[in-house]
Structure 1
Amino acid sequence: MKSKIHEYNKNNSIVMSKKTILITGASSGIGLEMAKILASKNYNLILVARNLDRLKSIKDDLESKYSSKVKIVRKDLSLSGNAEALYYEIKKEKLEVDYLINNAGIGNYGNFIETSLQEELNMIELNIASVVVLTKLFSQDMVKKDSGNIMNIASLLSFLPFPYYSVYSATKSFVLAFSETVNAELEGTGVMVKALCPGPIDTGFTTTEMAATNAYKTNKPVLPEVVAQEGVKLLLNTKTKKIVGFTNWFISNLPRVTPDFIMMKIKKNLASQKK
């Protein structure tokens, strides 16, 4: 028998069965903001992040404001094996995930030959491997019940990879291509895989070096609440891709009409810190 998180009344009788949404990287930024919005919409949540104290605080806050039930899981998905371990932990507790948001991600900025190899390997593990693992395992469960949505967080850089963000850009290009192709494979199953593609966001993700680039000066970061609103809309509707903001949509289409060598010069200028 399949198990779900239920809401109970004072007589300990089930009032209604709610859908449950798992969000990775839920302790800050757009992950946290999506959690707030979804809790306000009466969804139950499984929130995953590295900072247990922060997760406990978020759980207490959301459950005090809304009728949603919140489960928290401390897990560092940048470490090999932890994504699979997360899935089996959820299964062991007989929790059914209706929607999955693969939000956790990290990035860095700098000349590739000078940046940390270990940081980039961790980035690949988090931005790519954990997304593949969780999408595969949870989508298999969703197909069995003919229902489910998975939303992966891609990026504006999925469409136009920037110099100085070489590995990060590549991971986000992967996320977009992966989401689109798996979604095509799942057509007719009742399960959809979606890609949210934001531009710069005003969060802790942005380093001082990133903020000093021409890209951040010309395309101002938006608040995470704005991106979260668009993300929740995408998760809950029948569309499969959303580029957040007209400016980002316009920029994402430039490679279609601009020769490659010119486009790379433009991207390098945007990614640089020249005045």
Structure 2
Amino acid sequence: MTSNTKTTLISGATSGFGREFVELFAQDGYNLILIARHEQDLQKVANEVKAKYPVCDVIVIAKDLSVPGSAQELYDEVKGKNLTVDVLINNAGFGSHGLFVETAMEREQKIMHLNMISLVELTKLFLKEMVSRNDGKILQLGSTVAFMPVPKMAVYAASKAFVLSFTEALQHELKDTNVTVTVLCPGAGDTEFFERADAEDTRIVQDTTLSDPAKVARDGYEALMSGDRRVVSGAKNKIQAFMSNFVPDSFLAVGMSKMMEDKS
């Protein structure tokens, strides 16, 4: 990779917010390490980026981060290529829709592993290097559901509450360094998330305006570059996150349960 250019690693890089982050970092001249499950999808994105931004070097690594041991494998592959990660974007994640007693345990385990364990492992592995250099940036993909319980998506929402708490603790630990960690909290976005979660028929999808992934990624990018601690993307979502401080969780749960009902 080009030696005088910084490198960004982006997980979940082939669609949704991740794909938009790829575009933003490529525009600003970063070299890229793109992570997703499928080699073919990654190569397609890499070809598009290199055609549009010829000075941008792109490496793809196919890795399913919902599998135990995958984060360490990814780190080892990056180190094996003698690459330094200056910016880490922990974007990969997915959810599941349905009553907890009825959803598949294996799927919930994969959600928890991807959304929390791999995120923590990648953060620790690359953060150690950043702290030793006293330079680096990390963006964690949170959600507005981190501020409230969400019936019918209980495990996913709880995983994002974990991400928020974990990130805010790290921010305090790193306050005397030049390393910053930012958490991006978007609302429901116009991505493949709800389709993958079998939630495309819910009221939150059918009756609300979904966030533009490009706008969400831009908000996260600007906050990351400014060293901000947290950004809630979208005016409506900012109000919702703020009001969650004053509304009892039991009331929030009722409202979110209705939003997660199938409209049909």
Q: Please tell me the TM-score bracket, short chain as reference.
A: over 0.9
Distance 1:258-1:46 versus aligned 2 partners, 3 A rule: same
Per-residue CA distance 1:76-102 (angstroms, 9 max, x = gap): 100000001101111111100000000
Find the partner of 2:36 among 49, 65, 73: 49
For 1:57 and 1:262, the matched residues in 2 are separated by 45
Aligned AA for 1:178? F
For 1:241 and 1:139, the matched residues in 2 are separated by 18
For 2:106 and 2:144, the matched residues in 1 are separated by 25
1:164 paired to 2:152: yes
For 1:29 and 1:178, the matched residues in 2 are separated by 24
1:37 paired to 2:24: yes
For 2:139 and 2:168, the matched residues in 1 are separated by 11
Q: Is the 8 Å Cα contact of residues 149 and 249 (structure 2) preserved in structure 1? A: no
Over the matched positions of the two proteins, sequence identity in percent amounts to 37
Q: 2:209 matched to which residue of 1?
A: 220
Q: 1:247 matched to which residue of 2?
A: 236
For 1:245 and 1:89, the matched residues in 2 are separated by 37
For 2:145 and 2:256, the matched residues in 1 are separated by 10
Find the partner of 1:116 among 98, 104, 129: 104
Aligned AA for 2:175? E
For 1:263 and 1:32, the matched residues in 2 are separated by 31
SS of the residue 1:72 aligns to = strand
Q: 1:149 matched to which residue of 2?
A: 137
Find the partner of 2:10 among 23, 45, 63: 23
Distance 1:64-1:254 versus aligned 2 partners, 3 A rule: same
Q: 1:74 matched to which residue of 2?
A: 62
Per-residue CA distance 1:237-256 (angstroms, 9 max, x = gap): 12111000010111112222
Per-residue CA distance 1:131-162 (angstroms, 9 max, x = gap): 00000010000001110010010001001121
For 2:22 and 2:58, the matched residues in 1 are separated by 10
SS of the residue 1:247 aligns to = helix
Q: 1:184 matched to which residue of 2?
A: 172
Q: 1:229 matched to which residue of 2?
A: 218
1:62 paired to 2:49: yes
RMSD: 1.5
TM-score (norm 2): 0.95
For 2:259 and 2:40, the matched residues in 1 are separated by 38
For 1:196 and 1:260, the matched residues in 2 are separated by 22
For 2:82 and 2:255, the matched residues in 1 are separated by 51
1:270 to partner: Cα distance: 2.2
1:130 paired to 2:126: no
Q: Is the 8 Å Cα contact of residues 161 and 173 (structure 1) preserved in structure 2? A: no
Structure exhibiting the larger radius of gyration computed from Cα positions: 1
Find the partner of 1:265 among 225, 246, 254: 254
Q: 1:13 matched to which residue of 2?
A: none
For 1:49 and 1:24, the matched residues in 2 are separated by 6
Distance 1:61-1:263 versus aligned 2 partners, 3 A rule: closer
TM-score (norm 1): 0.91
Per-residue CA distance 1:142-198 (angstroms, 9 max, x = gap): 001110010010001001121000000111110111111111111112111110000
More off after superposition, 201-210 vs 120-129:
201-210
1:217 to partner: Cα distance: 4.1
